[in-house]
Amino acid sequence: MLNKQALFLTLFLSMVTAFGLTITANFATEISDAKYQAYTTEKYIYSTNSATITDTRRAFALNEDIVNYKAEVGDHSFDLMGMTTSVLTHLTSM
């Protein structure tokens, strides 16, 4: 039997300047708890009665920062983008 609970959260922020510069920040997280319960009887080959309970907690966070610059010079247009990403994952089993 598996019992799982999870919480999801996403935040988004975007800012546009007068000089063609756009700054965007994304943040997402997931926090979950899972419990697995199992019982095995003697009727299976090479098995004895046993019970297993496993608790798992997981936390995941993602941060993305994006900078975009748009400009026009004469007949030419430029669109430049830079991006950073950071990920944090934590897993605990009990």
Burial 37-51 (b: 16+ CB within 10 A, else e): eeeeeeeeeeeeeee
**What is the per-residue pLDDT across 13-57, written as a single tens digit (0 to 9) for each?**
999 988 889 999 999 998 888 887 777 766 766 667 777 778 888
> How confident is the model at residue 42, as a pLDDT?
67
Question: For the whole model, what pTM was predicted?
Answer: 0.61
With a pLDDT cut of 90, the percent of the chain lying above it is 38
